C-alpha cells in the first residue's frame, strides 16, 4: 500500500514506512518504539549506531503531522548531524527543516514562518536555540506533536560526550510537554547510569525503555596488546593493505582513531610517508581543514582518515571496512560507538583496538583536564576500567559488549568472528605475556629478580658513585630517569644511567636491597639512609652532598618504608575486594605521600594531595588505622 493523498484518513506508520521511506518492514525495536510513541507514551530508544534510530521518530513525526497534530521538534547536538537528516528527509518528500546559527536570517525567518503555520513535519534545533526566548514564544503559539532528543546521552555527565547545554532541554520543552506531547530520547550509549540520568534530566514520564540488540554481526573485533606506536602503525598498515587501502580511489574506507591531536598528526604523517592517501581530522584544525578532510574521505580521495574522537558523531559512511584505534579510548561506550562506524553497509568489517598500559595513563590524564569533580573523575576512571577489562577479556568480544550494554543476563552467544572466538590460544598467550610484564612492574611483592649479570650492573653503578645516594635515586638513575634528585646527585653522567631501563623501579630497589643484604653494598648515613659499596672509602668528610641538605626530607631515601609496604598491601587487597584496579583505589603518588606524612587524623588526611573528601570518607578510617600502627 502507498500513501494515498486523496483519502481523508491519515496514513498509518506502516504506510509511511513503505510509502515515504521505501522500507518494507520495521526492525523489531523500531516497531516497538513507533507503537509506544504513537500511543502517546514517553520512550527511550537505546540502539547501537547503525541500528536505525532515526526512523523511530521520523515515522511517528510524519504520521502525526499528516494527521494535523503539528510538527515534531528534534533536539540535536550538531549542525552537521541535523543537516544530514534534513537533507535525507527532504529527498523523501518529508517537510523537514532546521534552525541554527549557520543559516542566514532570511532562511531562519522562512523556517520559523513554516513552523508557526504548521507547514513542517520535523524541525531540528540545537538545545541553545530551543532555550532562546524568541523560540520559546513561538512554542507557546504552535502545537507540537512530539519532542525528540537525539544523542540523549549528552545530557549525562556519565556519558562520554556530556554537553552542559543539554541540561536546559527539559525546561525548554516544558510548554510543549504541558500540552501533552510525548518525548522520545535516543542514544547509542546505554549503560545503566546514563539511562537513569537521562530519564531524570530530560524529565521523561514513566518511559518505556527499549534496548536494542547490541550485536553487530558483520563486525569482527580484535584487541592487540602493543606498547609502541611504531609497532601499532606497522600493524595498521598491514590491515590497510589487506583492504587495498594503500592507494587513492579505493572503494573502501578506514578510520584510525588516535588519542591526541599530536598522535593524529604523527600517524597521518607516517602513513603518508608509506604511501597511504590519508587525511587528518581533529578539533585543533580550522573548520575548512576539517571539512576538507571529511570531504576527501567521503569522496575517496583520501580513503583513510586519522582522527581524534572529534570525528564521528553523525558520520554515515557506509563502506568503512576497518576502524583501528591506535590508542585506546576512554571508555567502552566510546569504543563501541567509534568502532561501530565500521560496516554500516552490513558488509564484513573489522575493528581493531591497540592497547597498552600507556593508553590508560593517557586517558587518565585526559580525564583530569578541565574542571571535573572527584565524583565525575571516579566515574570516568571506572568507565575506563571497563575498557581495560574488555582489553583483557577472554570472552567473545561481542558477548562482552552486549553484556555490558544490555545487562549481564542478556541473551547472546559467541560471535565466531572476534579474535577470542577464532584464536583463543593467541589471545591467551598475549594476555599472559602482558601479565608477566605487569607483575614485573607492580608492587614490591611482585618484582622480577635481576639475573646475576644485571646485579653486577647495579653494583658497578654503586662503585661509580662519587657519593652515597638513596636507593630509590640509584634505581631511578639505572632506569634512565632524569628526575630532579637524579640530576642533583650528578647521576645523569653515571655510565650505568639508563642501563637497566627495562626493569621497574621496584625491581631495581629490590635488587639494591638484595645487594645490601648480601653485604656487597652497605648503608651509609643514619638519618637519611643511602647506599655505598662495601669496603670503599667515602671521599670527604660528609656522606651526603651539601646541597642535598636543602631538599625536602621526606623525599629522601624513599624506597619502600614499612608503612609504604603496608599501604601497598592494603591497596592490593582493597582493589581485589572492590574489583577495582589498584590505581583506582589510590594512585601511587598519593600512597607515597601518605607513607611520607603518616597522617594521624582525618583532617591531615584531607590535606594529602590526591585524597579528596570522597576517598577520605571511604578509606579514611582504614588508612588511619594503618598509619597509627607505624
Ligand atoms: P542510527 O541513527 O541508529 O545510527 P540510522 O537511522 O542512520 O541509524 O540507520 C542506519 C541505516 O539503517 C540507514 O542506512 C537506514 O536507512 C537503515 N535502516 C533503518 N531502518 C531500516 C529498516 N526498517 N529497513 C531497512 N533499512 C533500515
Ligand atoms: Zn566472538
pLDDT per position as a tens digit, 231-260: 999 999 999 999 999 866 679 999 999 999
Ligand 1 close to Cβ of residue 54 (< 6 A): yes
Q: Is 26 in the pocket of ligand 1 (CB under 6 A)?
A: yes
57 lines ligand 1 (CB under 6 A): no
* Mean pLDDT, range 586-607, rounded to an integer: 81
- Give the number of the atom of ligand 1 that is nearest the alpha carbon of residue 25: 23
For ligand 1, the distance from its centroid to the CA atom of residue 484, given in whole angstroms, is: 57
CB atoms near residue 230 (< 10 Å): 9
Nearest CA to ligand 1 atom 26: 23
Cα distance between residue 151 and residue 154, in whole Å: 6
Locate the ligand 1 atom nearest the alpha carbon of residue 27 and give its number: 23
The residue whose CA has the least distance to atom 21 of ligand 1 is 52
| Range with lowest mean pLDDT among 306-315, 508-517, 539-548, 620-629 | 539-548
What is the number of alpha carbons within 13 Å of residue 89 lying toward its C-beta?
24
288 HSE (CA, 13 A, CB side): 0
Q: Are 338 and 309 in contact (CB under 8 A)?
A: yes
CA-closest residue to ligand 1 atom 19: 52
Note the pLDDT of residue 558.
40
Is the distance from the beta carbon of residue 53 to the nearest atom of ligand 1 less than 6 Å?
yes
Quote the ligand 2 centre to 221 CA distance (angstroms): 7
Cell numbers describing residue 530? 643511602
Using pLDDT thresholds of 50, 70 and 90, give the confidence band for residue 130: very high
* Placement of cell 521518530 in the chain: 57
Q: pLDDT tens digits, residue range 105-128?
A: 999 999 999 999 999 999 999 999
Mean pLDDT for 274-292 is 95
Q: Which atom of ligand 1 approaches the CA of 24 most closely?
A: 24
Question: Rg (Cα) of the chain, in Å, rounded?
Answer: 30
Residue 210, beta-bridge partner list? 45
**How far is the centre of ligand 1, averaged over its atoms, from the C-alpha of 161 (Å)?**
22
More confident call, 395 vs 3: 395
CA of 89 to the centre of ligand 1 (A): 13
For the record, the C-alpha cell of 84 comes out as 544530514
- Please give the distance, rounded to the nearest whole angstrom, from the Cα atom of residue 55 to the centre of ligand 1: 7
DSSP 3-state of 205: coil
- The pLDDT of residue 505 is 84
Is residue 47 within 6 Å of ligand 1 at its C-beta? yes
Ligand 1 atom index nearest CA of 23:
24
Prediction pTM value:
0.56
C-alpha grid cell for residue 336?
563501541
* Pocket flag, ligand 1, residue 27 (CB < 6 Å): yes
Among 215, 229, 187, 230, which residue's Cα sits nearest to residue 75?
Answer: 187
Average pLDDT over residues 303-328: 91
Ligand 1 mean position to 30 CA, how many Å? Answer: 10
| pLDDT given at position 194 | 85
Over pLDDT 70: what percentage of the chain? Answer: 90
Task: Compute the CA torsion angle 233, 239, 244, 245 (nearest 10 deg).
Answer: -40
**Cβ(124)–Cβ(82) under 8 Å?**
yes
Maximum CA extent, the chain? 107
Is 533 touching ligand 1 by the criterion CB < 6 Å? no
pLDDT of residue 263: 96
pLDDT band at 409 (very low <50, low <70, confident <90, very high): low
- Per DSSP (E only), the strands in 272-328 are 278-281, 304-307, 320-325
Q: Is the CB of 49 under 6 A from ligand 1?
A: yes
Which of 34, 55, 58 maximizes ligand 1 atoms within 8 Å of its Cβ, making it the mutation to test the pocket?
55
pLDDT at 177 over 90: yes
**What is the C-alpha to C-alpha distance for residues 275 and 246, in angstroms, rounded to an integer?**
6
Band of pLDDT at residue 443, cut at 50, 70 and 90: low
pLDDT of residue 543: 38
Span from the CA of 52 to the centroid of ligand 1 (angstroms): 3
> For the chain, what's the residue count?
630
Q: How confident is the model at residue 622 (pLDDT cuts 50, 70, 90)?
A: confident
Q: Is the pLDDT higher at 417 or at 371?
A: 417
Helix H segments across 71-224? 79-91, 105-116, 127-131, 133-141, 169-172, 174-178, 192-201
Amino acid at each position: 500500500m502507498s500513501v494515498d493523498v486523496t483519502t481523508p484518513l491519515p496514513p498509518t506508520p506502516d504506510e509511511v514506512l513503505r510509502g515515504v521511506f521505501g522500507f518494507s518492514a520495521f526492525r523489531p525495536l523500531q516497531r516497538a518504539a513507533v507503537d509506544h510513541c504513537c500511543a502517546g507514551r514517553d520512550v527511550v530508544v537505546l540502539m547501537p549506531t547503525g541500528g536505525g534510530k532515526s526512523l523511530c521518530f521520523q515515522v511517528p513525526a510524519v504520521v502525526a503531522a499528516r494527521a494535523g497534530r503539528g510538527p515534531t521538534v528534534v533536539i540535536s547536538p550538531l549542525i552537521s548531524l541535523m543537516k544530514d537528516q534534513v537533507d535525507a528527509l527532504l529527498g523523501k518528500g518529508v517537510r523537514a527543516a532546521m534552525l541554527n546559527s549557520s543559516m542566514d536570517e532570511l532562511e531562519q525567518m522562512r523556517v520559523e514562518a513554516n513552523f508557526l503555520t504548521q507547514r513542517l513535519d520535523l524541525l531540528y534545533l540545537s538545545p541553545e536555540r530551543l532555550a532562546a526566548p524568541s523560540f520559546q514564544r513561538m512554542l507557546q503559539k504552535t502545537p507540537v506533536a512530539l519532542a525528540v532528543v537525539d544523542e540523549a546521552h549528552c545530557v549525562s555527565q556519565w556519558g562520554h560526550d556530556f554537553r552542559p547545554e543539554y541540561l536546559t532541554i527539559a525546561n525548554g520543552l516544558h510548554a510543549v510537554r504541558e500540552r501533552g506531547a510525548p518525548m522520545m530520547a535516543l542514544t547509542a550509549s546505554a549503560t545503566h547510569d546514563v539511562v537513569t540520568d537521562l530519564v531524570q534530566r530530560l524529565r521523561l514520564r514513566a518511559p518505556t525503555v527499549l534496548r536494542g540488540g547490541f550485536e553487530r554481526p558483520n563486525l569482527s573485533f580484535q584487541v592487540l596488546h602493543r606498547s609502541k606506536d611504531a609497532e601499532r602503525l606497522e600493524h595498521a598498515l598491514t590491515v590497510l593493505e589487506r583492504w587495498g587501502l594503500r592507494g587513492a580511489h579505493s572503494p573502501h574506507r578506514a578510520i584510525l582513531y588516535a588519542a591526541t591531536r599530536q598522535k593524529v598528526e604523527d600517524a597521518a604523517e607516517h602513513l603518508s610517508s608509506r604511501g597511504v592517501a590519508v587525511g587528518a581530522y581533529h578539533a585543533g584544525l580550522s573548520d575548512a581543514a576539517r571539512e576538507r578532510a571529511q570531504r576527501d574521505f567521503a569522496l575517496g580521495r583520501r580513503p583513510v582518515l586519522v582522527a581524534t574522537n572529534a570525528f564521528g558523531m553523525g558520520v554515515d559512511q557506509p563502506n568503512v571496512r576497518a576502524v583501528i584505534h591506535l590508542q585506546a579510548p576512554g571508555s567502552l561506550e566510546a569504543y563501541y560507538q567509534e568502532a561501530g562506524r565500521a560496516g554500516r553497509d552490513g558488509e564484513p568489517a573489522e575493528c581493531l583496538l591497540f592497547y597498552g598500559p600507556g593508553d590508560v595513563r593517557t586517558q587518565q590524564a585526559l580525564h583530569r583536564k578541565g574542571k571535573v569533580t572527584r565524583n565525575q573523575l571516579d566515574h570516568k576512571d571506572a568507565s575506563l576500567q571497563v575498557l581495560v577489562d574488555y582489553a583483557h577479556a577472554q570472552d567473545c568480544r561481542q558477548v562482552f559488549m552486549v553484556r555490558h550494554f544490555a545487562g549481564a543476563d542478556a541473551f547472546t552467544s559467541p560471535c565466531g568472528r572476534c579474535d577470542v572466538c577464532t584464536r583463543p590460544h593467541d589471545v591467551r598467550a598475549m594476555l599472559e605475556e602482558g601479565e608477566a610484564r605487569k607483575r614485573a612492574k607492580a608492587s614490591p611483592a611482585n618484582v622480577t629478580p635481576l639475573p646475576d649479570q644485571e646485579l653486577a650492573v647495579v653494583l658497578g653503578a654503586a662503585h661509580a658513585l662519587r657519593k652515597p645516594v638513596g636507593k630509590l635515586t640509584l634505581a631511578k638513575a639505572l632506569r634512565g630517569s632524569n628526575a630532579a634528585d637524579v640530576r642533583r646527585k650528578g647521576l645523569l653522567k653515571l655510565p650505568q644511567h639508563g642501563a637497566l631501563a627495562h626493569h621497574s623501579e621496584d625491581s631495581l630497589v629490590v635488587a639494591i636491597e638484595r645487594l645490601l643484604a648480601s653485604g656487597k653494598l652497605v648503608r651509609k648515613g643514619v638519618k637519611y639512609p643511602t647506599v655505598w659499596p662495601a669496603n670503599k672509602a667515602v671521599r670527604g668528610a660528609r656522606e651526603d652532598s651539601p646541597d642535598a641538605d636543602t631538599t625536602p626530607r621526606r623525599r629522601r631515601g624513599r624506597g619502600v618504608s614499612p608503612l609504604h609496604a603496608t599501604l601497598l598491601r592494603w591497596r592490593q587487597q582493597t582493589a581485589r575486594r572492590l574489583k577495582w584496579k589498584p590505581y583506582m583505589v589510590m594512585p601511587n603518588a598519593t600512597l607515597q605521600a601518605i607513607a611520607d606524612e603518616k597522617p594521624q587524623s582525618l583532617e591531615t588526611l584531607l590535606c594529602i594531595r590526591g585524597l579528596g573528601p570522597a576517598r577520605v570518607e571511604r578509606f579514611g578510617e582504614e588508612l588511619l588505622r594503618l598509619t597509627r600502627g607505624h
